[in-house]
Structure 1
Amino acid sequence: MLIRLLEVLSGEQLPTKGRMRIHCLENVDKALQFLKEQKVHLENMGSHDIVDGNHRLTLGLIWTIILASRYPNVNIHNFTTSWRDGMAFKRHRAQTQLWVKERMPLATSTDHGKDLPTVQLLIKKNQTLQKEIQGHQPRIDDIHRRGQTQSQVDGERQSVLEERLVELRELWDQLIAETDKRHARLIEANRAQQFYADAAEAEAWMGEQELHMMSEEKAKDEQSALVMVKKHQTLEQALEDYAQTIHQLANSSRLMVTSEHPESERITLRQAQVDKLYAGLKDLAEERRGRLQERLRLTQLKREVDDLEQWIAEREVVAGSHELGQDYEHVTMLRDKFREFARDTSTIGQERVDGVNGLADDLIESGHPENASVAEWKDGLNEAWADLLELIDTRTQMLAASYELHRFHQDAMEVLGRVKEKREGLPSDLGRDLNTVQHLHRQHNTFENDIQALSGQVNQVQDDAARLQKAYAGEKADDINRSEHAVTSAWEALLEAGQARRLLLLDTVEKFRFFNMVRDLMLWMDGVNLQIDAHDSPRDVSSAGLVIANHQDIKSEIETRADSFTACIEMGNSLINNNHYASDEIREKLTQLQEKRDRINKKWQDKMDHLQIVLEVLQFGRDAYVAESWLAGQEPLVRAAELGTNVDEVESLIKRHDAFEKLAAAWEDRFILLEKLTTLEEQEIQRRLEEEERARRPPTPPPAEGVVQSETESHAHDSAARTSLDQTTLNQSVSVNGVHSDNDTSQGSESESVNGPGRDSGLASSRLEQSATLPSRGGAESEPETMEGMLCRKQEMESHSKKAATRSWQNVYCVLRKGSLGFYKDGKSASNGIPYHSEVPISLGEAVCEVAHDYKKRKHVFKLRLGDGKEFLFQAKDEAEMSSWIRSIHSSIPSGPADSPGGPQVLSRAMTMPPISPSSGDTGGVTMRNKDGKEKDREKRFSFFGKKK
């Protein structure tokens, strides 16, 4: 209550009204301080007394306040009774009305100030008045409340009190309204005055800047010009930044004009003045910037000209040097450095001169006030630059001439050193074999290619010497001539040495090639010699034919090598005729080659003669066996004692005997041929005659050593041949065509019947020792062989790219005829002409027959491949049968009209008797069949020896 009373009396409110003790103490202290300021006497009273609730002190303080704040001329002895009587209320109301009337002139005043500070002061006063009004608002409210209370107590004066209250309320509301209106007017006045102040400030700032823009100060050098340009840039930036202020002024004026401010016309005019002044200031700033930039460019050009002229002067010192170097390295260093100097000078200097000329031209074209000075600077600079370039060109030519002379001497020394190095590096070794020599020859080719590279350098030295001798005279010309002569002499010597070694290496290569050819041929002849010696003596006609065919193959191989021998001999003779440095060695190799070749040819011929004799003996044995078999077969017919019991039987026996006589007449010629001597027998007779002749001759002096040796070798060779043939004959005594004899008791009579009584005992004994063969029939070619027998067959291929549908082994009876091969179930089917499964005989045209080396499941298998792609496998019972079939098939394969299919010409004596039909098995034949259908070799031996004892 105390605090509220003081707030009403003072018209102010305490900022903090806390409930805590410290807040209460602070508020009471402020109240007591206010009373002291109002001259209220307080004794022995503190804030803690009031806060602690001392009612006596509190009531006394309130009474003291009432007495101190009473209206004048109103004596209050008792507050309650005086207020109830209306005296205090009236006086309180009258005092309030007086206070309102005193402030009403301030609220209704039309003085809005002439400048911004005045306006702001008036606004503060009006705000103070508004605060006072707000402070008296509680008092007004208290008066109304007490007046209403008083009117309710005192009914007689109720109307008067209410009128006074209404009058007080209206006066109070008018005061508040007037203060609000004045506040609004002062705000508008403040905005206008603020605009005027800002405009004035802007005009003052722009006026200050205008003084800087109109300055005529000129920079004396580039540095000061740069400072002035930067300073002006700062001013321009400030001017650009100040545009925001101008825009704010324009916005403010536009808003006041839009809101129909009382001073709109004056504001618009003032804003136009500010805008005009700002635009003029920007124009001045742009003009000053142009002047400063021109001054800066002029100072920059002056600096560039001065720097470039100083740089040119420094370069002229280097370009004017007369040092040309003491040797090649020195002049090369000087030339390289000066080249770099000239390149840098030309590049950098021309760029700088062009830049300065461009600046000068720009200044002149832009109409700079100092055009005359700029043109003078430009001309002086260009003249100095031209002088520098001329000095550089002169210096470059002098260094080039000195470099060329020193380089010539240096190149001549280097080339001379390389030529001598190549000459010293030329080897003398010729190698020990062809590979080494070829390697050396390739190295020499590389060496010659390398020195061909030196040829260009030598020519360059000669060309340079010829050119420099025209430019120099005296001692320098003599030095040039000496260097050139030394290089030329060394080069010619190197070429001669290289040519001589190249020819020597080529001769050596040819020599070793010849030696290699001789060695290859020697080795080949060694191999042929081994092949000739490797053939075993044949035991039957078919194997003899194969051995002779193989031996013929060796002859073909020898004939094939004839060109190699011819080339080798011609090469050796050519080297000897060309005076080769190794002619003696080459001649010796040729002699050895020819001698060995003659020995091989003679050995082959001797072996061929031997094999023909063996074949003749084996053929005789076979033919004799056939004749013996025929005799054995016909002997029962001749010796039969049956004479017949009736006419028919006798006539039948007569017809059979007539047929036998006709058949015997046909066999008579064959027996006559068997009686002819074989070649072996003739040679043996001739040998015995020669021995007898030598035995009858008187003794002769011994021959020379060489003749004795030759005869000894000849006799040794003949002895070896006879020994081989005798061994063959001894083998034949055991087995003919690989079939052992079964009947030794009948051999004597058969031999006698074959030999006949017309041959002497000596011939018979010769036959018994050596065996003979049947002679050929008039030397004509033999008919193609025919053969038949059981084989196991399997078809592999149906065509070139198609395998056979059935690839199983089958036993078939094979019949070989000229150019065809037929298949039958057995011999009977073959004699009746019934093919196996109606198969047509296959044609052997373009057929190939060989041993099936790639087939490993069965033994003795050979392969027959036809021209249409069909392929068959056949299995024989042994190796001999397989070889016989292969030889017979080869003989039956059609070939040229003059060719003999299957072997050498000597095989024409293989058959001297007519071929035996497969059906005539009772008369014997080349091949026979047993009951099981298996082929059995029936070519039995014919014994030429007596009966064993």
Structure 2
Amino acid sequence: MVGLRPGFRVPPPSPQNLRRELQARRCRVAELLERSSAAAAVRCPEAEGVRALRERLGAAWGALQERSERRQNELDAAFRLQQYCCDVSDVEAWLGEQELLLMGDDKGKDEQSTLQLLQKLLRTAQTVENYADTIAQLSRQCRSLLEMGHPQSEELSRRQSRVDRLYVGLKELLEERKAALEQQWWLQQLGREVGDLEHWIAEKEVVAGSPELGQDYEHVTLLQEKFLEFASETGNVGQERISAVNQMVDELIDYGHADAATIAEWKDGVNEAWADLLELMETRAQLLAASHELHKFFSDCRELLGQIEEKRRRLPELTHEPRASAGGLQRALGAFERDVEVLVAQVRQLQEGAAQLRTVYAGDNAEAIAKREQEVLKAWKELLAACEEGRLRVADAAERVRFVGAAKELLAWMEGLLGQMAAGERPRDVSTVEVLMTSHQGLKSEMEARGRSVAACLELGRSLGVGQGPAAEEVTVGTRGTS
């Protein structure tokens, strides 16, 4: 036989081989015990030795089975311990890997990349959540080992507690990472909204800051209508967008966003830009309104000047109508003067408008306002003077007509009276003389009665006869006839 080296131990049989060998020898031992029991019952000198050997065999077999069972339990416990330790190591390694993955500070450069990171994190979070079953199974393994009274119970408890802390810490890290990515995504959304709104405001400022104020009344009216529509639409849309941004900002600040200071600056900036746009639109509206009033004043001046000139052209035609009667001329002139009276309010309104505009404008515009006003007032005064002249002319014509009529009537009366005097017969006797004297006295009384009418007609004729033209000649002839 080959000798064993010092310190060298024969390795024990494997648990599987030992169980198989015990199982194989179980029947043989049982058979020997049964046969030894029968032999020990025989009364002979060897029976005592058989009984002693039988007892020794039974005790050795029982001890071997007990030792095998205890060994099996020890091996099972060791296996479960090793399995637990391996599982714990795997779990710790996996948790460590996940923690390393979550330690990065990449939050994405834009909404798309941040959203991708957030989606990836949510998938990781779901995986970690599903890993709770593994942690629970590990906890059950540890509890089972502790219930067995394992000599390393304290170490097992520490390792299980460490795994639980790692798992809880990983979930907290997931929540922190999720919150950070969500805040970053919200910040990028807000930044995009603020940037878009500021760009939109800048575009509207270009329109609201236009220096175009119109070339004439029609042009400025069109500009004002378009700008009012623009201002209304811009105000409604802008207020809706600025309210949405402010609400988003307030919600993020109330939520406790890490970049609350930056968000507040964005809010102040965009609200200041919006206020500037509103002020610019208000200024533009005021400028257009002032330009509208100015061009309306010029337009009203042209229109009123045209009406005055049209009436000024009509007046000579009206007062020099050769075939019109005095009454007809007076009625026509009265109707014309009523038409002119309608312009009084327009002239007064134009003067008030000019006075108001002079408080707003200076320089060239003020000079243009004064010039247009003076043009209208000059034409208006000329029209009023022409009306007065026409009124006098019509009144003079009426007086001439009245004089001619009165003169013709008196001439006819005189001619009749002269005819009566010439046709009188010569007195033949006293009675005839008396009759003639009575008749003549009546004629004389009639002449005395008409004396005032003749004198008035002569005075009227002299006052009208100082003029020129056919009418004056007619008046002069009539005056001579009645003298």
C-alpha separation between the residues in 2 aligned to 1:558 and 1:411?
Answer: 66
Cα offset, 1:536, TM superposition: 3.2
Tell me the amino acid that sits aligned with residue 545 of structure 1: T
Which residue matches 2:3?
A: none
Aligned to 1:581: 258
Tell me how far apart the structure 2 counterparts of residues 456 and 756 of structure 1 sit (CA, whole Å). Answer: 107
Question: Relative to structure 1, is the Cα distance of residues 419 and 639 closer, same or farther in structure 2, using a 3 angstrom cutoff?
Answer: same
Q: Deviations over 1:205-261 (max 9, x none)?
A: xxxxxxxxxxxxxxxxxxxxxxxxxxxxxxxxxxxxxxxxxxxxxxxxxxxxxxxxx
Q: Which residue of 2 aligns with 1:572?
A: 249
What is the CA–CA distance in structure 2 between the aligned matches of 1:535 and 1:748, rounded to whole Å?
27
Contact kept, 8 Å, 1:624 with 1:754, in 2: the verdict is no
Match of 1:530 in 2: 206
Deviations 1:491-511 (A, max 9, x none): 122122222222222333333
1:663 to 2:339 alignment: yes
Partner-residue secondary structure (3-state), 1:475: coil
Structure 1 partner of 2:108: 431
User: Does 2:376 match 1:751?
Assistant: yes
Number of the residue aligned with 1:561:
238
1:475 aligns with 2:136: no
Residues 671 and 754 of structure 1 are in contact (CA less than 8 Å); yes or no, is this contact kept in structure 2?
Answer: no
Amino acid at match of 1:654: Q
* Distance (whole Å) between structure 2 residues aligned to residue 747 and residue 623 of structure 1: 10
Conserved in 2, the CA contact under 8 Å of 1:430 and 1:437? Answer: yes
SS in 2 for 1:425: helix
217, 221, 233: which one aligns with 1:545: 221
Higher relative contact order structure (alpha carbons within 8 Å, sequence separation ≥ 6): 2
Q: How does 1:118-129 map to 2 (within 5 A)?
A: none
Give the deviation of 1:423 after TM superposition: 0.3
- Deviation of 1:581 after TM superposition, in Å, equals 2.7
In structure 2, relative to structure 1, the CA distance for the partners of 1:549 and 1:468 (3 Å cut) is farther
1:491 maps to 167
* 1:467-514 deviation digits (Å, cap 9, x = unpaired): 3433x3223645643442332122122122222222222333333333
Tell me if 1:450 matches 2:75. no
Judge conservation of contact 2:301–2:373 (CA < 8 Å) in 1: no
Distance 1:505 1:651 in 2: 100
Distance (whole Å) between structure 1 residues aligned to residue 189 and residue 173 of structure 2: 24
Contact 1:674–1:754 at 8 Å: present in 2 too? no
The offset of 1:403, in angstroms, is 6.7
C-alpha change, 1:659 and 1:503, in structure 2 (3 Å) is: same
Change (3 A) 1:613 1:485: same
Q: Which residue of 2 aligns with 1:598?
A: 275
Unaligned runs of 5+ in 1: 1-317, 325-393, 686-721, 733-745, 758-949
Map of 1:630 onto structure 2: 307
> Deviations 1:49-68 (Å, cap 9, x if unpaired)?
xxxxxxxxxxxxxxxxxxxx
| Distance across 2 between alignment mates of 1:754 and 1:463 | 113
Name the CA shift for 1:320/1:570 in 2 (closer, same or farther; >3 Å).
closer
Distance 1:750 1:534, change over 3 A: closer
For 1:323 and 1:564, how far apart are their aligned partners in 2? 82
RMSD: 3.8
What secondary structure sits across from 1:511 in the alignment? helix
Confirm or deny that 1:413 pairs with 2:89.
yes
| Amino acid corresponding to residue 420 of structure 1 in structure 2 | G
Q: Is structure 2 residue 304 aligned with structure 1 residue 621?
A: no
Q: Which runs of 5+ in 2 are unaligned?
A: 1-13, 21-68, 383-483
Which residue does 1:703 correspond to in 2?
none
Shift in Å, 1:404: 5.7
Provide closer, same or farther for how the CA distance between residues 536 and 410 of structure 1 changes in structure 2, counting only shifts above 3 A: same
Change (3 A) 1:598 1:319: closer
The Cα of 1:672 is off from its aligned counterpart by: 1.2
What are the within-5 Å matches in structure 2 for residues 376-395 of structure 1? none
Alpha-carbon distance between aligned partners in 2 of 1:749 and 1:639, rounded to the nearest angstrom: 24
More strand by share: 1
How far does the alpha carbon of each residue in 1:649-668 deviate from its partner, in whole angstroms, 9 at most, with x for none? 44333332222111111221
Measure the CA separation in 2 of the matches of 1:450 and 1:665: 95
Q: Distance in 1 between matches of 2:207 and 2:108?
A: 35
CA shift in 2, pair 1:494/1:683, >3 Å: same
Instruction: Label 1:755 to 1:474 Cα distance change in 2 as closer, same or farther (>3 A).
Output: farther
Secondary structure (helix, strand or coil) at the match of 1:632 reads helix
1:18-167 matches, within 5 Å, as none
Alignment check: 8 A CA contact 2:87 2:138 kept? yes
| Alignment partner, residue 468 of structure 2 | none
Give the number of aligned pairs: 315
Please name the residue that 1:314 is paired with: none
The 1:644–1:592 alpha-carbon spacing in structure 2 relative to 1, beyond 3 Å, is closer
- Aligned with 1:580: secondary structure? coil
Deviation at 1:322, TM superposition (A): 4.4
Within the candidate set 359, 363, 374, 1:682 is matched to 359
Q: What's the CA shift for 1:526?
A: 0.1
Q: Aligned partners of 2:106, 2:365: CA distance in 1, in Å?
A: 59
Q: Which moved more, 1:475-484 or 1:665-674?
A: 475-484
Shift of the 664–323 alpha-carbon distance from structure 1 to 2, 3 Å rule, reads farther
| 8 A Cα contact 1:643 1:650, kept in partner | no
Shift of 1:458: 1.4
Name the CA distance, whole Å, in 1 between partners of 2:119 and 2:107. Answer: 12
CA contact (8 A) 1:675 1:755 kept: no
Aligned pairs for 1:338-417 (under 5 A) are 406-417=82-93
Give the conservation status (yes or no) of the 8 Å contact 1:413–1:483.
Answer: no
* Contact residue 529 and residue 600 of structure 1 kept, 8 A: yes
**2:176 matched residue in structure 1:** 500
| TM-superposition CA deviations, 1:133-180 (whole Å, max 9, x none) | xxxxxxxxxxxxxxxxxxxxxxxxxxxxxxxxxxxxxxxxxxxxxxxx
Shift of 1:747: 8.3
| Cα pair distance change 1:485/1:747, threshold 3 Å | closer
Shift of 1:614: 1.0
Q: 1:747 to 1:624 in 2, by over 3 A?
A: closer
Aligned 8 A contact 2:209 2:280 in 1: no
Q: Distance in 2 between matches of 1:519 and 1:415?
A: 47
Partners of 1:417 and 1:544 lie apart in 2 by 79
Rate the CA distance shift 1:537–1:467 in 2: closer, same or farther, 3 A. Answer: same
CA contact (8 A) 2:208 2:277 kept: no
| Letter in structure 2 aligned against 1:505 | L
Aligned mates of 2:225, 2:268 — CA distance in 1 = 31
Q: 1:641 to 1:726 in 2, by over 3 A?
A: closer
> Once the two structures are aligned, what percentage of the paired residues are identical?
15
In structure 2, distance between residues paired with 1:608 and 1:423: 62
Amino acid aligned to 1:562: Q
Give the structure-1-normalised TM-score: 0.30
Deviations 1:18-48 (A, max 9, x none): xxxxxxxxxxxxxxxxxxxxxxxxxxxxxxx
Quick check: 1:674–1:755 contact (8 Å CA) kept in 2? no
Give SS of 1:684's match: coil
Larger-Rg structure: 1
What is the alpha-carbon distance in structure 2 between the residues aligned to residue 409 and residue 665 of structure 1? 116
CA distance in structure 2 between the aligned counterparts of 1:666 and 1:477, rounded to whole angstroms:
116
- Give the whole-Å Cα distance in 2 for the aligned partners of 1:323 and 1:534: 102
Work out the CA distance in 2 between the residues paired with 1:463 and 1:581: 41
Deviation, structure 1 residue 418: 0.8
Q: Which residue of 1 is the match for residue 195 of structure 2?
A: 519
- 1:535, 1:547 within 8 Å by CA — same for their partners in 2? no
> Equivalents in 1 of 2:124, 2:251: separation in Å?
28
Offset from partner CA, 1:286-343 (integer Å, 9 cap, x none): xxxxxxxxxxxxxxxxxxxxxxxxxxxxxxxx9974479xxxxxxxxxxxxxxxxxxx
